[in-house]
Structure 1
Amino acid sequence: MAAAVSWMSESVQEILQIYGLTLTTFLVLGAAFLLAYSLLKRPRNLPPYPAGRVPVLGHLLALGRAPHLKLTAWRRQYGDVFTVRMGMEDVVVLNGYTAVKDALVDRSELFASRPPNYLFDAMVDSGKNIIVARWGSGFRQRKKFATAALKNLGMKVGRGSIEEKIREEANCLRNRVRWNQG
């Protein structure tokens, strides 16, 4: 056993010397390869990918100037549910009434949450925030509280609401933007 290990270490050293590498360089390259492999490997539980994915950009180059046409072509080839790589993120594309209904109506609890946004989560504590909070009991409690507070402050639906004032302010803002552009 010791002879085999000694033989292997001598062989590795000879190979490294032939290519002009040190053991440190070899270990750094190996670690970089393993890191790249772990970042770029495809999760097993996703629908099929279209071919032509670039490691960092994903399918962004393949989508081109008319992404809706490319997505339609991929629908004919891969079916109503497939995965597209947008940069470093995997995006599951749903096509057709039955696939969308199944996801958004029949399995709404699975699709109710927002996707993780690591940069935004680092800047804002999403545990106390209603805007980027994940779906769950905490989100429902905060939403119920916010709705009740807004109703108490005059945000009513129907008669007596401030909807007309909001529309008027939106029109003023739109006119101001037009005036500044022209």
Structure 2
Amino acid sequence: MLVCFIISIIGIKFCNSQVNDGGTHEKWEYVLEDTGDILQLALPAAAGLTTIFKKDWEGTKQFAFSYATSFVVTQALKKIVRKPRPEGRNLYDAFPSGHTTSAFTGAAFIQRRYGWKYGKYAYFLASIVGVSRMEGPDGWHDIWDVLAGAGIGIGSTYLFTKPYEQSKYNISLSYNKNQIYFSFNYRF
């Protein structure tokens, strides 16, 4: 459902976007950059909402610590390192990529907490964010900025997040007119 929502937004953005930069960039570059902008928020939102829908309150707490840590570390490094942005801009906050940190924190949480079944797709989408930061028309980052952002996102998540374990025990009681059933199940 989330993927459908993202594709819809991207499609609307693609159909409505006007490229007016004198012909130096192609339309796909703008679509890629817009996609990265959306996914850098959608992946952590999906991770956080998943914990709420599953009523996984421990996961909610773990995600909050992971995301807060990755945010603080990223912002601190931007202030300390003061690496200039590519293409001669007078901005000194390129290292590490905040978009990539955000996306990989969400993706790593989904994978670490709920497994590779969903994690592989989340990592694929997070990788699109990294590529969008390098290959979009504005070229905000180089490969080192993106790899550092991904490393911070993954590292902070693995620091605070444990795999989700459902109860191995199940106790139930049922009855009909003549009998009462008590069952105890244990999953290995």
TM-score range relative to shorter protein: under 0.3
- TM-score, structure 1 normalization: 0.25
Structure number with higher relative contact order (C-alpha < 8 Å, ≥ 6 residues apart)? 2
Structure index of larger Rg:
1
Structure with the higher fraction of residues in helix conformation = 2
